[in-house]
């Protein structure tokens, strides 16, 4: 059976996870949130008292970790050493760790086979920052999903407040701009739009319109 791979890249807060998850559900594909894996490693580093930019310290943790992606009622859950950390890895402080550890080459190499293995055994929609450029360069469909920093910060702020976290728009915007800068300028697999990716800007779209825009690109590409 030939499996379909859809790569969705884009900056933090672009709605990649939400939109990719919904699109995968409609198409009957498996959704793979690669960012959750980096967040899990960031969480492990945080718990161990290791700075996210301490490459040697983070890499020393890797052989001790057991990372798994499981699916419960079609929803991806992330297990760290058998513990479901799907909610904890979304905390703002872990986002910073995730951006730092993702810049470490050995961390990226550690996760590469796990990510590619999913695409070999399932039709997937995989989102991240280097899926179309590094992880799945031969994906049949590549999308670069983005929105203005202001719009992304507003959406993330609302999401965090709905989870009971006290944040300000200014704080979230500053964190997002800092992460964009770090992701775009890291030496290893920086955030870039693949040459053959379709750019989808959701700044002026609501969630339903954003999902439909992504589905339209996928269907158009697969039926060419």
Determine the pLDDT at residue 61.
96
Taken as a whole, the chain contains a residue count of 224
| pLDDT-based confidence at residue 219 (cuts at 50, 70, 90) | very high
d(C-alpha 177, C-alpha 15), whole Å: 16
Nearest CA to 203 among 146, 154, 147?
Answer: 147
Mean pLDDT, rounded, of the chain: 91
Percent of the chain topping pLDDT 90: 62
Determine the pLDDT at residue 224.
58
User: What tens digit of pLDDT does each residue of 148-195 get?
Assistant: 999 999 998 988 888 888 889 999 999 889 888 888 888 777 889 999
Determine the pLDDT at residue 118.
84
Nearest CA to 207 among 19, 10, 6?
Answer: 19
**Residue 145: half-sphere exposure toward Cβ, Cα within 13 Å:** 34
In this prediction, residues 97-113 reach a mean pLDDT of 90
pLDDT score of 57 more than 70 = yes
User: What tens digit of pLDDT does each residue of 7-38 get?
Assistant: 999 998 899 989 999 999 999 898 988 888 99
- Per-range mean pLDDT, top range of 99-113, 149-163, 199-213: 199-213
pLDDT score of 1 more than 70 = no
C-alpha dist (Å) from residue 164 to 98, 161, 167, 170, 183: 21, 5, 9, 17, 27
For 48, phi then psi, to 5°, come to -85, -5
Q: Could you tell me the end-to-end alpha-carbon distance of the chain, in angstroms, rounded to an integer?
A: 20
């Amino acid at each position: 059976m030939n499996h379909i791979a859809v790569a969705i890249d884009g900056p933090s807060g672009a709605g990649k996870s939400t939109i990719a998850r919904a699109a995968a559900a409609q198409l009957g594909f498996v959704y793979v949130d690669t960012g959750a894996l980096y967040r899990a490693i960031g969480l492990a580093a945080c718990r161990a008292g290791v700075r996210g930019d301490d490459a040697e310290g983070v890499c020393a943790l890797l052989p001790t970790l057991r990372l798994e992606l499981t699916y419960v009622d079609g929803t991806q859950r992330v297990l760290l050493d058998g513990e479901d950390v799907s909610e904890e890895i979304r905390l703002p402080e872990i986002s910073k760790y995730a951006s730092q550890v993702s810049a470490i080459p050995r961390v990226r190499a550690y996760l590469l086979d796990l990510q590619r293995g999913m695409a070999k055994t399932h039709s997937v929609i995989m989102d991240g920052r280097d899926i179309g450029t590094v992880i799945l360069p031969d994906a049949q469909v590549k999308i670069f999903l983005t929105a203005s920093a202001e719009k992304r910060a507003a959406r993330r702020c609302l999401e965090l407040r709905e989870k009971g976290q006290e944040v300000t728009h200014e704080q979230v915007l500053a964190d997002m701009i800092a992460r964009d800068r770090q992701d775009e300028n890291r030496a290893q697999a920086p955030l870039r739009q693949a040459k053959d990716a379709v750019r989808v800007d959701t700044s002026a779209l609501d969630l339903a319109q954003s999902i439909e825009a992504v589905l339209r690109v996928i269907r158009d590409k697969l039926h060419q």
